[in-house]
Amino acid sequence: MQLQDVLFSQGFGTRRVCAGLVQQGHVRLPEGAGWVVCDDPTQDLDLAPGDGFEVQGRVWPYHPRAYILLNKPAGYECSHKPSAWPPIYSLLPAPLRQRPQKGAIQGVQAVGRLDQDTTGLLLLTDDGALIHRLSSPKHHVPKIYEVVVADPLRGDEPERLCAGVVLHDDPQPVRAAACVPTGAQQLQLTLTQGKYHQVKRMLAAVGHRVVGLHRSQMGQLRLPPDLAPGQWCWLAADDLARAQQAA
């Protein structure tokens, strides 16, 4: 693959912009123990996933597909066109927001959405097939939420939530796959389907108001303990394998 095409595929702009970056000496490639400037946009490269190159002083790993794990903080919307809060995509570097898909610059997309006040695990990728598989209700990918409610639990909520509750404007009962109290006002809720404001509506159906909501797991994916709110990381190969198995 030519260097300008590599840069384009990684989200560094149009092919003309990428060619300009190379011609202006802003791209360096590894050579021996150091880096060397490459000013030929048509130079052929044979890159393996994870191989690095440098653009404008920043080292960037080559990935044919981007798989990103983000610890979503509160106060961000999972939308490219947010209504009131900044988008989660503003937490990512420009190349991830500009990666091309099917010839158009679309960037990575979130697999499902979290409300602006919900925190925790969010997977973002430009792999449309994986997004579809993980989001499809047919696959019942479990998602685990840590929930804090305003008032003490009474004790019967886990059984009621697992048996099924009826939500407003939705005649079909919605069931939790698992529900485990973890404190006087805390519980861990596992869902295998996704509906609008589902956790909040389910807890409201049993008489509780949610005041804290954090997604800790999706399938076999867990947030790394050292990934702070607002930070992101490339998904490790073994985590990616588990995500693909869940789908």
Please tell me the predicted confidence (pLDDT) of residue 241.
85
pLDDT of residue 246: 63
Length, in residues, of the chain: 247
What structural domains does the chain harbor? 3-61 (3.10.290), 67-137+220-246 (3.30.70.580), 142-218 (3.30.70.1560)
Amino acid 135: pLDDT: 82
pTM: 0.90
Residue 117 a catalytic site member:
no
Q: pLDDT 10s digit of each residue in the chain, 247 long?
A: 999 999 999 999 999 999 999 999 999 999 988 899 999 999 999 999 999 999 999 999 999 999 999 999 999 999 988 889 999 999 999 999 999 977 566 899 999 899 999 999 999 999 988 888 888 777 788 999 999 999 999 989 999 999 999 987 778 899 999 999 999 999 999 999 888 889 999 999 999 999 999 999 998 899 999 999 999 999 988 888 888 776 5
Residues 6+ apart with CB under 8 A from 207: 154
Q: Which of 5, 39, 46, 115 is catalytic?
A: 115
What is the bridge-based pairing of β-strands 210-218 and 119-125? parallel
216 Cβ contact partners less than 8 Å away, ≥ 6 residues apart? 120, 121, 144, 145, 146, 188, 222, 223
> 72: which 2 tokens?
């979503």
Q: What is the pLDDT of residue 194?
A: 80
Rounded CA separation 199/183 (Å): 17
Half-sphere exposure of 197 (CA within 13 A, CB side): 13
Which amino acid does the sequence have at 132? H
| Alpha-carbon gap, residue 91 to 108, rounded angstroms | 12
- Measured CA to CA, the distance from residue 122 to residue 129 in angstroms comes to 17
Measured in degrees and rounded to the nearest 5, phi and psi for residue 94 equal -55, -45
| Alpha-carbon torsion, ordered 141, 182, 68, 54, to 10 deg | -160
